[in-house]
Amino acid sequence: MQRQSLTIKFIPFIAFSVCAFLFWPGLLRPDSMIQMQQGVAGTLSDFHPPMMGFVWGLFGRVFGGPGPMFIFHLMLYWSATTLFAMAEPHKAKWVYLIALLPPVFAYQLLVLKDISFVNAYLFCAAWLHFYSMREDLSPSWLSLLTWLFVAFYGTCATYQGALALPWLCLWLAKFYSSDKSKNWIFAGLILFCVIILGVVGFNKTMATHSNRGEHHKLYDLAGISIQLNEPVFPDYVKQAPNYNFEKIKKLYNFDRLDDLIYTNNSPLSVTENPDNLDALDSFWLKAIFNYPTSYLKHRFGVFKSQLTVSLLKHPSDIKGESTPLITKVITWIEKLGIFTIAKWLMAYALYFLWQLIYIYKGYRNFNKNPKYVSLFFQNIMGVSLVLSLFFIAGAAEARYAYIAIAMLFFSHPFLFKTANSTQFISRRFA
């Protein structure tokens, strides 16, 4: 057993080292570059959550560039993988295989706030599953504090994290519950409120206020206007020099608000004027209530694109956001004629129903075995966040659904049957 435990820990270390060597220093996107620059300069804005920029600034005092954050992400990822493997050692080989599958691992090459969030939550989920399945071990206070710190970091890393946090807090409360009453629900909600208050306090303390949210509201108004075929915008937008409704109709699409707003001579002008921003907030809400059908058609189009968008792109569409090694791999996939299949394997639509089945199975067997508790919470975290994208997504980005894909794949071994598997019932479920 000891030799097996050492092997379980050794394999992820080798995998971590190989990944760090092959893909150093990770792939940066424009958002990440801004966060890195802000972190190094110490001028954080709340347009992006300040946590990742803050940590990047600390890393920058020792080693500049994206490399340290890339290593930090890999440490979280392979630590989570190790915990999943150690939870049920006889299933470790399946966990390692899942950790290296392209639909799961490919996202780890990106240095983004979304990856910080997902890897932190993967670690927290793996920690809970590990201690739930290992009746012979109990977490120390230091271990619990580590969990709380990682959960706090992950929630701070992206604003969407607050939507998955309630399920993580309820899972922790259920783990520490010693009976079958529903008191753990109350405790979990209290923990959620405490962490959220800490997150809000951190964000307000560390970052200056920006016009965050303006782009999303302009995108929604553009969508409503397209559906109605008439402009629905506040006066300050229509009075701007570059405003042009015909151009808006040409640039608008369900995939990216960037094509409409982040362009030269954009027909939709952004502002930092507080009065204009207040007018936009009021106008946006009125437009949603006045034209609900048009709003929902617009949001459904964006959500449909979100479900079907893939991380995998044709080499000609990558536009320099890759390393030569990754480009060669994608080109090889394209030449093999399996590009379409590989692309769908990295889109969330393929897994949505599967995840709903896991949630149902976990709920039906919730008090029978801790693996069903893990199955339920791990998957409902992902589904709840993806469903929220119907209202909050400003673009169809595969990374937004990554938490759902990762949580689904790492929950597969919970239900695998192996020759060495034994029926386990935790003391909490006895």
pLDDT tens column, 343-402: 888 889 989 999 999 999 999 999 889 999 999 999 999 999 999 999 988 888 889 999
Per cent of the chain over pLDDT 90 is 55
- Residue 144: is its pLDDT beyond 70? yes
pLDDT band at 6 (very low <50, low <70, confident <90, very high): low
Do residues 66 and 172 share a domain? yes
| Mean of the per-residue pLDDT values of the chain | 88
Same domain, 77 and 176: yes
Same domain, 363 and 393: yes
The reply to whether 360 and 333 lie within a common domain is: no
4/148 Cα distance (integer angstroms): 29
H or E element that contains 92: helix 92-100
Picking from 346, 366, 362, the residue whose alpha carbon sits closest to that of residue 409 is: 346
Domain boundary among 308, 336, 358: 308
Could you list the residue range(s) of the whole structural domain that residue 81 is in?
2-209+346-429
Tell whether 319 and 271 lie within a shared domain. Answer: no
On whether both 284 and 337 belong to a single domain, the answer is no
Burial class from Cβ neighbours inside 10 Å (0-12, 13-18, 19+) for residue 86 reads buried
Tokens of 380: 């409902």
For the chain, how many structural domains are there in total?
3
- State whether 304 and 181 are in the same domain: no
55 and 174 co-located in one domain: yes
Q: What is the pLDDT of residues 276-312, one digit of tens each?
A: 889 999 999 999 999 999 999 999 999 999 999 887 7
Same domain, 148 and 160: yes
Mean pLDDT computed over 219-224: 95
Backbone angles phi, psi at 28, to 5 degrees: -95, 140
